[in-house]
Amino acid sequence: KAGVTQTPRYLIKTRGQQVTLSCSPISGHRSVSWYQQTPGQGLQFLFEYFSETQRNKGNFPGRFSGRQFSNSRSEMNVSTLELGDSALYLCASSLRVAGVYNEQFFGPGTRLTVL
C-alpha cells in the first residue's frame, strides 16, 4: 500500500509570496491533517479535513488555509509569507472512524524556507 506523499519536498520563497503544498493520503483514508514542525515549537496542529470539510483548526493566523478534494487529496496554502513560516510542513492521513482521532500516518514533509 502506498504511503502518504507530499509535493514538493523542498521550497524556497521570499517574504510576501504565497505557497501551495500538496498531500495525497493513503488509499482509503479520508482524514488529512496538517502540522507545522519547527525546532523550538515541535509539531503543531494546523487543521484537519475530512470528507472535504475542515473539522478542526489549530491556533494559526488566517494566512494559513487548506482544502480537500473529493479524492481526499489535500492542499495547504500560506499567503504573505513571513520569515517565521520557515518550517517542515507535515501531512498525515488516518481512517478517522466514527469521528475518533486514531493513529495517523505521516508523509515525508515539505521543507519550506522563507528568505
Partner 1 sequence: EDQVTQSPEALRLQEGESSSLNCSYTVSGLRGLFWYRQDPGKGPEFLFTLYSAGEEKEKERLKATLTKKESFLHITAPKPEDSATYLCAVSRGNTPLVFGKGTRLSVIA
Binding site for partner 1 (CB under 8 A): 4, 6, 33, 35, 42-43, 45, 48, 56, 58, 88, 90, 92, 99-109, 111
52 vs 80 by CB, closer to partner 1: 52
Smaller CB distance to partner 1: residue 18 or 31? 31
Whole-number Cα distances in Å, 69 to 12, 79, 114, 115: 26, 20, 27, 31
Nearest distance from C-beta of residue 94 to partner 1, angstroms? 9
**Residue placing its CB nearer to partner 1 in the complex, 5 or 79:** 5
CB of 40 vs partner 1, minimal distance in Å: 9
CB of 84 to partner 1, least distance (A): 18
Say which residues have a Cβ less than 8 Å from residue 96's Cβ, sequence separation at least 6.
Answer: 29, 30, 31, 50, 102
